[in-house]
Amino acid sequence: MKVAISATLPAEWKKTKPIRSYDTNFLYIGVERYDTATKTVSSFTSDGEYTQRPCTETSFSSSYANEAVRVTIYSESPRVWSEELTPHDVFFFTQQS
């Protein structure tokens, strides 16, 4: 799916209460990242394409970074969520297609 990434929540979602939030760690493995809470692997491409798939692996040959993140879900369809690394470092993702 295509996603738009921004530093602020799009105007049409500002009055929407979040569905849920969870704390997780992203382990960066190659060009993908593993979400330790949802046990999924996701990746982004330079043209805004986002993929996510379940992952049953618990051991990876290499991980080059680890981030503690708070994920907040605003909508499941279309998918709208934020990833907060620090209170001043938040990214908002909005499904485009």
Q: Which residue has the higher pLDDT, 97 or 36?
A: 36
pTM of the predicted structure, to 2 decimals: 0.89
Rounded distance, CA 76 to CA 53, Å? Answer: 16
pLDDT tens for 67-77 read 999 999 999 99
| Local confidence band at 45 (pLDDT 50, 70, 90 cut-offs) | confident
If you write DSSP's letter for every residue of 33-70 in order, what string do you get?
EEETTTTEEEEE-TTSBEEEEE------S---EEEEEE
The mean predicted confidence, pLDDT, of the chain is 92
For residue 68, what pLDDT is reported?
96
The pLDDT tens digits of the residues spanning 14-39 come to 999 999 999 999 999 988 999 999 99
Domain ranges, ordered by start, for the chain = 3-95
Q: Report the distance separating Cα 25 and Cα 4, nearest Å.
A: 22
